[in-house]
Amino acid sequence: MATARNDTRETLGGRHAHLWWIRPDTVTEPAELARCRALLTDDEREKTDRFRVARDRHTCLITRVLVRSTLSRYCDVSPARWRFRITDHGRPEIGTPRSTLRFNLSHTKGLVVCLVSRGREVGVDVESLTRANRWLDLSDRFFAPREAAALRRVDASDRPTRFLEYWTLKESYVKARGLGLAIPLTGFSFDLPARVPDDIRIRLTPAVDDDEARWQFTLERFGRDHLVATAVERDGSEPVRITLREAVAPLV
Ligand SMILES: CC(C)(COP(=O)(O)OP(=O)(O)OC[C@H]1O[C@@H](n2cnc3c(N)ncnc32)[C@H](O)[C@@H]1OP(=O)(O)O)[C@@H](O)C(=O)NCCC(=O)NCCS
């Protein structure tokens, strides 16, 4: 796994995507936190300050700085210069300066990730495995019938993890499409191999207007506590190569 200093210049070809990740609690230095905050626009600072719990404020701050510092690794634009627009469905995208880069963000307790591509639609979702038991009974409501049935066939001890594998994959697809919950979650499903999820296929019903062959997926375990799923748009038979990059403090 590559660990990148914040002044490392990165190149990103059309057949690659980079999955940047950081543990937010590694950014603690007060001077660095002040520099992070100074990078934000007024709107971003307000969004950050709206969280009542300090840990959530911190995660939001690190998310904003991760995306800014990450994008700046690929071009000659300083982290503070990026301006984002929010789509009608809530997805932040690059507004100015114009760029062929695309990104998607996800955050949960203990982990923030940013998936970057050159012109491809991308979606990423991170979930904490400690949540799995709590949500298990949602599968009948949010999963396609074949996913809910497959989940019931899994050993009870493996079920919470398998549940979260479906969940993160579904979120990654919804996020790559950028349409949020306008996509019916029961209208598409995943085939997960019994053990190593190295060949993950999506199946679409007519309720979802898309082409199954347009997407590739990955599912990764991050340490003991997190799962990360990615959805990346592909063209043709050659897969897009996804490389992990750890962002380390100081970010700015
Ligand atoms: C908002 C949503 C995009 C994901 O939310 P989430 O999983 O709670 O949170 P994540 O941390 O993974 O993602 C949040 C980030 O996604 C991005 N985002 C927001 N809306 C988005 C959209 N429509 N498309 C793609 N990305 C979006 C934002 O960057 C956001 O972070 P930010 O507000 O700090 O910038 C959306 O999918 C949702 O509301 N899902 C509902 C949850 C659900 O029912 N899931 C069932 C799955 S089986």
100 and 145 both lie in a single domain:
no
* 1 pLDDT higher than 60: no
Ranges of H-type helices in 51-157: 54-72, 132-135, 139-142, 145-153
2 and 113 both lie in a single domain:
yes
Mutation choice for ligand 1 from 169, 171, 192, CB with most ligand atoms inside 8 A: 171
92 lines ligand 1 (CB under 6 A): yes
Mutation choice for ligand 1 from 175, 179, 188, 222, CB with most ligand atoms inside 8 A: 175
Average the pLDDT over each of 57-66, 101-110, 115-124, 188-197 and give the range with the smallest value.
Answer: 188-197
Q: For atom 1 of ligand 1, which residue has the closest CA?
A: 180
CA 34 to chain centre: 26
Q: How many domains does the chain have?
A: 2
Q: For atom 29 of ligand 1, which residue has the closest CA?
A: 105
128 and 184 both lie in a single domain:
yes
DSSP 202-242: EEE-TTS-S-GGGEEEEEEEETTTEEEEEEEE--SSSPPEE
Query: For the domain that residue 141 is a member of, what is the CATH number?
Result: 3.90.470.20
Neighbours of 21 (CB within 10 A): 22
How far does residue 168's CA lie from ligand 1's centre (Å)? 11
Q: Beta partners for 81?
A: none
Of 27-36, 124-133, 139-148, highest mean pLDDT = 27-36
Confidence of residue 51 (pLDDT cuts 50, 70, 90): very high
Say if strands 83-86 and 92-96 run parallel, antiparallel, or are unpaired: antiparallel
112 and 134 both lie in a single domain:
no
Q: For atom 11 of ligand 1, which residue has the closest CA?
A: 106
Neighbours of 244 (CB within 10 A): 15
Residues 202, 215 contacting (CB under 8 angstroms): yes
Q: Which amino acid is at 245?
A: R
**Average pLDDT, stretch 6-22?**
90
113's enclosing H/E stretch is strand 111-118
How far does residue 31's CA lie from ligand 1's centre (Å)? 30
167 and 223 both lie in a single domain:
yes
* 197 pLDDT higher than 70: no
Confidence of residue 194 (pLDDT cuts 50, 70, 90): low
Mutation choice for ligand 1 from 174, 190, 192, CB with most ligand atoms inside 8 A: 174
125 lines ligand 1 (CB under 6 A): yes
19 and 31 both lie in a single domain:
yes
Q: Which amino acid is at 27?
A: V
Q: What is the mean pLDDT of the chain?
A: 92
185 and 245 both lie in a single domain:
no
**Average pLDDT, stretch 109-121?**
97
239 lines ligand 1 (CB under 6 A): no
90 lines ligand 1 (CB under 6 A): yes
1 and 83 both lie in a single domain:
yes
pLDDT score, position 130: 86
Domain ranges, residue 21: 1-119+237-252
- Sheet architecture: strand order including 16-22: 2-4, 241-247, 16-22, 111-118, 101-108
228 and 243 both lie in a single domain:
no
Per-residue pLDDT tens over the stretch 200-220:
999 999 999 999 999 999 999
192 and 243 both lie in a single domain:
no
